[in-house]
Amino acid sequence: MQTDLIAEARRQAQICNACRYCEGYCSVFPSLHRERAFSDGDITHLANLCHNCRGCYYACQYTAPHEFDLNIPQALANVRHDSWKALAWPRGFARAFDSNGTLIAAVAVVAFALLFVLIQTLGPSGGAGFYAYLSHGAMVAVFAPAFVLPLIALAVSLGHYWARTGGGAFRLSYLRQAFNSAARMKNLLGGHGDGCNFEDEDRFSQTRRYFHQATLWGFVLCFASTSSGTVLHYGFGVEAPYGSFSLPKMLGVPGGLLLCVGTAGLAWLKSKADPQLGADRVWGGEMAFVLLLFAVSATGLALYIATGTGAVAVLLPVHLATVLTLFLLTPYSKMAHGFYRLAALAQEEARKDRIA
């Protein structure tokens, strides 16, 4: 990891530890105030615990032009982003995406779309629904490794993170508490429950929390839709296409709508917010990721609406290409932040348990 980023975040954390004005703002400050000195692992933990709500910045009396020049949201964002790259496996892929993320995502979508068009052209299956354009076997052959390999890469990366930030025994209770906090977006509530200050300086707002929840639960519903289709196919021999009132459709359609609304809203808020309070050097790559996630949901809904028409032949390769790109880039893009955030919340529970 870049030692200069760690050193700057440590300097600011030490000043915050002396001030303690922001103690009730989010999980970062109680964790910060438990320490007298900060190791590199402590700073990495604080960075991934931070949700970048920015309330502490607008409440701080030591921001520029004060000589202390505090900007904790930016300092932790820089360390957080660098930690995803330094702890990622294989590390070379992470560095490549860091410098060319938008281009890599765009090229991947186009290339995979052309690949699916080629598979369509060379191997029509004669099946029903989408399988009339792309066989079930071809989809499994492409997506099974594209789903499993990124999960393996993430598991290795999170193992590196756990070891770096304190290690220790891992308990399922820590993960359960982390999921509970993430599901409620507890750390976007703000110190008094009024929300955070992400998009409009000192104005409190719940908007970012709501859009995050729409994105999270939309993604969960879409994943549950795909999983239910897999269970129906392999467990009960019920093959696609599925009807409008089937479990895959009843989960997938509202999931897609929530994901569209959530990602569009987050992109809008990101365009309004001050980039200098985050990792501004990767602003474009983060925006590209949000738009990619929006494209996954939007093309999926368009495909559903187009069912039974000739537009499916065009929309299916595009949708599958966006999904495949999202899967493959997950360990190296902003998508990884969800996994690291859960690990940070679980590590926080482990630290509190050790103190108790």
pLDDT tens by residue, 31-48:
999 988 999 999 999 999
Environment class of residue 237 by beta-carbon count within 10 Å: exposed (0-12), middle (13-18) or buried (19+)? exposed
pLDDT band at 199 (very low <50, low <70, confident <90, very high): confident
Distances (CA, A) of 180 to 150, 267, 331, 355: 25, 25, 23, 21
Each residue of 246-279: pLDDT tens digit?
A: 999 999 999 999 999 999 999 999 998 999 999 9
The whole-model pTM stands at 0.92
Spatial separation of the C-alpha atoms in residues 332 and 110, rounded to whole Å? 19
Question: Any idea what the Cα angle at residue 353 is, between residues 348 and 356, rounded to 5°?
Answer: 130
Residue 105 phi, psi dihedral angles, 5° rounding: -65, -45
Residue whose pair of structure tokens reads 């569009």 in the numeric block: 264
Amino acid at 4: D
Residue 356 has pLDDT above 70, yes or no: no
Could you tell me where the DSSP H helices lie in 185-282?
A: 207-236, 247-272
